[in-house]
Each structure stands twice: as C-alpha cells, then as structure tokens.
Amino acid sequence: MRTTSRVSLTIASLAIAGLLAACSGPASESDGQADDVQLRMTIWSANPDHVALFEELGDEFAAESPRVSSVKIESFNLADLDTLFTTQIAAGDPPDVSWLPVESSLEYIRAGALVDLRKTIDATDDFDFDDLIPSLLERWVDGDAVYGIPFSTGPLMMYFNKDLYAQAGVKDPAQLIAEGNWTWDAFRETSKQLHDALGTPAFVLNDFDFKNWTRLLPYMNAYGASPWNADATACTMDSDEMVDAMSVFHGMTFDDGSMPVPGQQVDFWGGQVGATSAFLGSSASLVDADFEWGLVPTPAGPAGAVVSTGQASIVALAAGKHTSDAAEFVAFLGSKGAMEKYSGYFPPIRESVLTPEILIQNSKVLTPEMVQPMIDGIKKNGKVFPVAANNAAVADALNSSLDEFLYQPGADVAQALSKVCGDIAPLLK
C-alpha cells in the first residue's frame, strides 16, 4: 500500500513538474545577446490593409535591424485592451510593441509599464522630433521622457446624410455652417425637425451605445466642460458648463426623440440616421453608401468651435522581453518615412505629413476639401481626450454612473451629474 502511494505521489509530482516546466516556456532572452529577436506588435484594427501595411513596415525594420529577424502583427479588439494586456503581462508574455489609446496613457506611464523612448529617438538620425506638433504630444511626454509616438490623432467629425435632410426639408449641417449658425442649439432644433418629419433618429454617437463616455466630448468641449480638472484630481462633472452640455444631449435623447435611447440599435452607415459623429477612419463604411453624404466639424457652443480629438500612440511595453529592440521599432514607426506610409489611414501629428493629399491617399471617398477642416481642427483648436491616472477604474465608474443616473428619461440633469461626481471623485484623489 505504501509502495503504491509512493508511486502515485511520484507520478503526480512528475506530472505537475512537467506541466509547470511546459507552462514556464523558454527562458527569456536578454537584450543585447539574441541575434534573431522576434518582435510582437498588437494593433486593434482587423482591416487587412492596415495589418498588411504594418507587416510590411515590420519586414522593412527587420531587414534593417542587425538583431531583429521578424515582426509579428496581431489584431485585437480595442474593447479588450485591458483584458489582453493584464492577461498577457501576468502570464509573462506581453507584446513588445502596441497601439495604446491616449485615455490609458497616464495610467500606463505612472505604472512604469512603458519604455522611455527618448534615448532611442535621439539616436535615430532621421527621426526629426521637432516635426511633431508639441501640443499633440504632451500626453505622452513627462519631462524629458517620451513614452509613445502618436500615430493617429483624429478629431470626431460629423457625417450627415444629405438625402434624409433633403427629404425632410430641413437645413443640413453644411447649410447651417454656411449661415454661420453651426451650434449645438441650432443642430438640436434641426434634428428635432428631421425626426418629427421622418420618424427616424436624427443623430447618433458612433461607437457610443451608452457605454463610452468619450463620445460625449463634442458636447462637453463645445460648452467648455470636462469630467475632471486639469490635473485630474477633482471631479467637475457637476459644473454648470457640464450641466448645460449634458442637458442638450439628454434633451435630444429623451425629450426630442432625435437620438436613440439606451438599447436602441440604429445605424447611420446604412442610411437610417440623419447624422453621426465619428472618426475619419469610419469614412470607409461609406464606400458603398447609396446616399449622398457630407463631412463637417461637430457644432460649436459657448466655448467656441472646439474639436474633440482622439489619439493613439505606438508604445514599447516595459514588460516585453526585448525592450531596446522594441524601442527602436517604435522610433522606426514614428519616423517621417514610415509615418508617411500610414498617414493615409491615420491622421499624423507630423507637421510635414499632415496634408490633405497624404490623408486621402488611401481613401476612396474623401476629398481634400472634406479633410481640410479636420486638419485645421487638429492644428488650431483640437483638444485631445482628457486622461486620468486611474483611467480604467475612472472610466468604468463614469460609464456606469452616467448609465445609472443620467441616461434615464426624466432625470434631473444637475442632480444626476452631482451623483456621478459622488461616484468618480474618490477615484480621482
């Protein structure tokens, strides 16, 4: 019996040891020793053209690099960003390089999760750091350190369905701009007219679905509101400016009926909605559109014509196995030559390549006249999304709290926003 137990124990121990050995994987190579480094980069686009472009750039870098033999590009869904990174970092297998949205910048920088690229950038001869527009880089810079190179800096623009406006006999956004009356108040009025005339939703926030507060920024910025103060230490969701901004949104949704209510599935790109606010990349959805459409900046408000600008950077993860090679690859991707190649898909922050001709080079639907206001917006009155140090928790609490208190018919906007502050303020301290 004892012999049997010992044999069983030995077999079980061997099995566990074998499994642990298998799970631990190969020992990580230290930088400077390996000469066939394989880098892994994650991007949140599944567009075959985007993947192919970055694969091509990866091959180009590998051909130039004395140590990197290949770069593998992997796609994931942006909504899964935190899940992916936490899982892979915890498992000791994070990507070396990745896209990272600006909302996560401060959290990753404070946690020491990103590699400082400064030395690598300085050592890269043709990088031309001064060509980057400084105001659009500030979320990624801390003193002398540079933690990411923004590869895509796109404002939320307004796409509108000319046919629906014409059918309803209502002034479309372009006509309001021509009249010099392009404000949220005027847009709310025409949206209600369109909804009353046709019964369809007049305006929908793209990728919002009442789960993504950043899509409300065109309202907030136009009214000079922000969810928190400049250094992200105090909640300002209950400010007068925010109450005014959210009153317009809430009124359009629940009083006017011109915007979809929570849970309602509507689709601008199929031609059922008057207008939507979305990024430039969404224009690809209009290639086969069977309606006439236009592209304009989002409306202005008491704070003027502010352009809400989303941003994403290419970063090297500190938990990666080949940090110096990864930093070199990021510097390569941020250089003018590489940026020129992908700027047809992603608006750059390099002054020299931020031109209408480059921006539309891969688009089948955009024209220089359409994107010129966007370029003006990026350069002059673009406002990059606000960031908080504890972004994951703050964004989750903000989305959850807005859903509970503000996205309700009959909600008192001021009271609702006060409760929202009660939820997120502890996370900002």
Asked if 28 touches other proteins (CB under 8 A), the answer is no
Closer to other proteins by CB, 194 or 349: give it.
Answer: 194
Residues 318-347 as x/- pattern, contact with other proteins by CB under 8 A: -x----------------------------
Structure tokens at 357: 């001709």
Residue 330 CB, shortest distance to other proteins, in Å, is 18
Residue 77 CB, shortest distance to other proteins, in Å, is 13
Asked if 69 touches other proteins (CB under 8 A), the answer is no
Closer to other proteins by CB, 20 or 27: give it.
Answer: 20
Structure tokens at 382: 């673009």
Contacts with other proteins in 206-225 (CB under 8 A)? Answer: 211
Residue 428 CB, shortest distance to other proteins, in Å, is 15
Distance CA(75)–CA(318), nearest Å, equals 20
Distance CA(279)–CA(351), nearest Å, equals 20
Asked if 24 touches other proteins (CB under 8 A), the answer is no
Interface residue with other proteins among 70, 75, 183, 400 (CB under 8 A) is: 400
Residue 100 CB, shortest distance to other proteins, in Å, is 11
Closer to other proteins by CB, 56 or 82: give it.
Answer: 82
Which among 148-156, 278-286, 337-345, 392-400 is the span making contact with other proteins, rule CB under 8 A?
A: 392-400
Closer to other proteins by CB, 285 or 390: give it.
Answer: 390
Closer to other proteins by CB, 118 or 211: give it.
Answer: 211
Residue 91 CB, shortest distance to other proteins, in Å, is 10
Residue 50 CB, shortest distance to other proteins, in Å, is 25
Interface residue with other proteins among 89, 145, 289, 389 (CB under 8 A) is: 89
Which among 232-240, 245-253, 380-388, 402-410 is the span making contact with other proteins, rule CB under 8 A?
A: 402-410
Closer to other proteins by CB, 62 or 89: give it.
Answer: 89
Closer to other proteins by CB, 264 or 367: give it.
Answer: 264
Residue 34 CB, shortest distance to other proteins, in Å, is 21
Asked if 19 touches other proteins (CB under 8 A), the answer is yes
Closer to other proteins by CB, 33 or 265: give it.
Answer: 265
Structure tokens at 3: 């012999």
Confirm if 192 and 258 have CB atoms less than 8 A apart.
yes
Closer to other proteins by CB, 362 or 408: give it.
Answer: 408
Residues forming the site for other proteins (CB under 8 A): 12, 15-16, 19-20, 82-83, 85-87, 89-90, 107-108, 111-113, 211, 260-265, 319, 392-393, 396, 399-401, 403-405, 407-408
